[in-house]
Structure 1
């Protein structure tokens, strides 16, 4: 993984297919919603199966703070749909099949073919205001309340 920082920079734009059946373009939120991008390694893995349901469960709190949560990894839309159904995940899960978006954000682990675990908070102007990349994919230190606190500061 690249140790680049995007803090204070415009967030790299992307368009990806989603578990909700739509195609999601990051820049479409500009001007009206903050975006919380949650990069995670794999659907159905133990830590991810805690993390994404936790973020999904706080969706109302994020909405109240003017933000949407988007999960991103390299699994297919079909895997995302199955995982979301099994774990009750309601946030859109985006399929970054070739890790291009993960690379733009410096969180692709190419040698393993997965996305690192990271959270980026992008404000309504499209600028990265908070970023945290976990040292190991098994770490999960940035809980939803941390990001909600950051949102309250915007």
Structure 2
């Protein structure tokens, strides 16, 4: 399922930052990078999200915000973010509703797949990459920044 060229499905989810975040609130203001990942505290995710968080200045310079999304609770997100120094907002999609909208829910395992979506200021999906297996992490922040610079 490709969403490229289509309006990004809108959502509102609770975030590790303490407020609810609505995707459409960024329209007209900034690009959005959605980073779906399976589980807090898992080995590959504990490399991926800190890497995106560490590149936050580069994403800001490119006019984008990064949002991490998975099925863990806000409480798990806060603990994980504190332990790993993750500063990007982590959104709690506990029923996998948003993951389903983006075609990345793995319902039989109760998790989302690992995927990255770039949404432009108009709310249109301009890039998507879904890893074939949850243990893969092939699209690094630098590759996503290249996509952003091309917008």
Cα RMSD after superposing both structures = 0.2
Length-normalised TM-score, structure 1: 0.98
List aligned pairs for 1:42-57, cutoff 5 A: 42-57=39-54
Structure 1 stretches lacking a partner, 5+ long: none
- Greater than 4 Å deviation, 4+ residue runs: none
The yes-or-no answer on 1:113 pairing with 2:107 is no
Q: For the residues of structure 2 that align with 1:145 and 1:58, how far apart are their CA atoms?
A: 9
Instruction: Name which of 3, 6, 9 aligns with 1:6.
Output: 3
**Which residue of structure 2 aligns with residue 130 of structure 1?**
127
The structure 2 residue matched to 1:20, chosen from 9, 12, 17, is 17
1:96 to 93, 96, 99: 93
The number of residues matched between the two structures is 151
Q: What TM-score does the superposition give when structure 2 sets the normalisation length? A: 1.00
Q: CA deviation at 1:84?
A: 0.1
